[in-house]
Amino acid sequence: MDVDTMTMPLSEERTEVGNYFVANYPPFSAWTREHLPAAEAALNRSPDPATPLGLYLHIPFCRKRCKFCYFRVYIDKNASEVGRYMDALASEVELYARREVFRSRPLRFVYFGGGTPSFPSEKQLLGLVEKLRKVVSWDGAEEVTFECEPGTLTERKLQAIRDMGVTRLSLGIENTNDAILEENGRAHRSAEVFRAYAWAREVGFPQINVDLIAGMVGETWENWRDCVARTLDLAADSVTIYAMELPHNAVYARSLGESGVEVADWRTKRAWVSHAFETFEAAGYRVSSAYTLVKDPGTSFVYRDCLWRGADLVGTGVASFSHVGGVHFQNADVFEDYIEGVEAGRLPLSRAYPAGPRQLLVREVILQLKLGRLDPERFRKKFGIDIETEFGDAFATLRAGGHLEPAGNGIVLTRKGLLRIDGLLPLFFEPEYRGVRYT
């Protein structure tokens, strides 16, 4: 959840340094230490019982750092340091459990993200869960998601993950070509993907998601078609497809154009994503969002849907982001600062931003646009706003560009609009946040 993002102009085709993925609003660059009292106040207010509550746990360790990665991850920590971090993570959750935001309030969803949550040993994972369950319970949660890197998995570890209560396993395939995986810094190879997937099916996870990235360095049309076909053969419950980016703190961002490092332009990447969507749709999958397809139309994404509709999310771990009672805040983004803060008995918060009513409206509009459809009536009920009038100029621009369906119920994006949705979202930003550095 450590995002380094810059909005992308609508006309840009060349892949430049700067991430275009929009994850929140207002931009992270507006968040400051001066607003931390607002975060503390939000944590101590009685929450709206109708607002869902979720918990995010960041496990920031990896075997290798991918050359396109922009998350807060570490590849140099020994077993003792990993153990200390896992203890701190459990202690941070305990600190939150004492706050009003958690009091008598069930968790609707839990998300283990990274980094690589499957990097710690089975013993370390079970130890973390044992400590967490002393202060919180997710037995009644609708969804518990766990991200995995295929090469870190064994049958026994997957069973342990399932026994933790995980309902949705997300497997980072990214590509099925070993040369491309190696070039881009991925730790796993394709054989590990298919082996881990088979084990996961045997263990019996209710939902398995697999990720692909269109436009990794070295990608070609021939390979991408093969990659999509091999992924389709898995018959995963859901498939998530992202386009390759070059965030400022990624290894590739420092070597763009050097040593033959080139990333496909956006036109090509959109064509690759479109091919993947068309292939999966032809096989019976349905579009669930700008990035995701599902095999069963009834497949839900509780974490995504709750978060994009204004749920409270408590993010724990180094550099994690939270959203509680309309206030955004982030943890310390340095390993030692995070751990020392928790060990001293305090929440390791570093910056915050209390969003106003207009900003909360914008946030939900732009995030739900990623689903490909907006329900104006829902916004009228929640905010008392007619979004078609309030954002008339933005919607007119989308229609003129062929990004919205010409008619029908609600507001529906075309395939063209879905393919470049993150580059379109700044149209809805307040003027002072258009074109600014996102973090």
CATH number (domain holding residue 91): 3.80.30.20
Going by pLDDT thresholds of 50, 70 and 90, the confidence category of residue 37 is: very high
Residue 102 forms part of a structural domain:
yes
What are the pLDDT digits (tens) for 70-104? 778 889 999 999 999 999 999 999 999 999 999 88
Give me the number of domains the chain comprises: 2
Query: Of 306, 322, 349, which residue constitutes the final position of a domain?
Result: 306
C-alpha distances (whole Å) from 402 to each of 251, 397, 417, 419 are 35, 9, 7, 12
Q: Is 123 exposed, middle or buried (0-12, 13-18, 19+ CB in 10 A)?
A: exposed
Same domain, 166 and 275: yes
Query: Of 306, 324, 343, which residue constitutes the final position of a domain?
Result: 306
What are the pLDDT digits (tens) for 110-152? 999 999 999 999 999 999 999 999 999 999 999 999 999 999 9
Same domain, 365 and 266: no
Q: How far apart are CA 419 and CA 43, in angstroms?
A: 37
pLDDT above 70 coverage of the chain, percent: 94
Q: How far apart are CA 65 and CA 184, in angstroms?
A: 9
Burial 128-145 (b: 16+ CB within 10 A, else e): bbebbeeebebeebbbbb
Residue 350 forms part of a structural domain:
no
For residue 49, give every residue at least 6 positions away whose Cβ sits within 8 Å of its Cβ, in sequence order, or none: 105
Same domain, 191 and 95: yes
C-alpha distances (whole Å) from 302 to each of 116, 145, 168, 238, 328 are 21, 10, 10, 14, 20
Check whether 156 has a pLDDT greater than 70.
yes
Residue 129 forms part of a structural domain:
yes
Same domain, 277 and 421: no
Q: Report helix, strand or coil for 392.
A: helix
pLDDT at 2: 34
CA-nearest of 408, 403, 349 to 372 is 403
Residue 207 forms part of a structural domain:
yes
For residue 274, give every residue at least 6 positions away whose Cβ sits within 8 Å of its Cβ, in sequence order, or none: 415, 419
CATH (domain of 411): 1.10.10.920
Task: Count other Cβ atoms within 10 Å, centred on residue 156.
Answer: 11
Lowest mean pLDDT among 158-162, 199-203, 262-266: 262-266
Residue 9 forms part of a structural domain:
no
Going by pLDDT thresholds of 50, 70 and 90, the confidence category of residue 256 is: low
Same domain, 368 and 230: no
C-alpha distances (whole Å) from 290 to each of 30, 101, 117, 147, 413 are 26, 32, 25, 20, 10
Same domain, 276 and 369: no
C-alpha distances (whole Å) from 228 to each of 32, 90, 175, 212 are 42, 39, 9, 9
**Strand pairing partners for 292?**
240
Could you tell me the residue range of the domain that residue 433 belongs to? 357-439
Residue 325 forms part of a structural domain:
no
Query: Of 280, 306, 332, which residue constitutes the final position of a domain?
Result: 306
